[in-house]
Amino acid sequence: MIRLVFRLLSAISLAVAVIMAVTDATRSIAISHIEPTPLGAYWLQYAPDSLDRTRAWLVANAAWLWEPVLTTLLRAPGFAAFAVLAFLLYAIGYRRPDPAGRLAA
C-alpha cells in the first residue's frame, strides 16, 4: 500500500515537472533564448505566504538548512527539481522483481 502511495506521488511529481518544462519551453521559444524558471519563482507566484512562513520557520529552527540548501534548491529550474523528486519517490516505491521469475512456485 505504501509503495502505491510513493508511486502515485511520483506520477504527480512527474506530471508537474512536464507541465513546468512545457511552460519553460514555450516561454523560451517566445523570447528566443533558453531561460528556465527557478523553483522559487513558481513558489513565490503560487503560494507566497507559505514561502515566507517556511523561511521564517527554518531561520528560527534550522538556520543552517536555509542558506546553503534551500536557497540553492530555490534557484534550481522548477522542472528539474520536480523530475528529481519524481525519480526519488519512484525509487522509494520500486518493487524489485522476484529473482526466481514470474513462473516460480
pLDDT averaged over consecutive 10-residue blocks of the chain (105 residues)?
94 97 94 92 92 90 84 93 96 84 66
Q: Output the pLDDT for position 104.
A: 62
Q: Give residue 59's pLDDT.
A: 87
Q: pTM here?
A: 0.82
Secondary structure E strands in the chain: none
How many angstroms separate the CA atoms of 3 and 94, rounded? 7
Helices 39-46 & 78-93, crossing angle to 10 degrees? 90
Q: Which residues lie below 8 Å from residue 94, measured CB to CB, with a gap of 6+?
A: 3
Query: Which cell numbers hold the place of 95?
Result: 518493487
- 86 Cα distance to chain centroid: 6
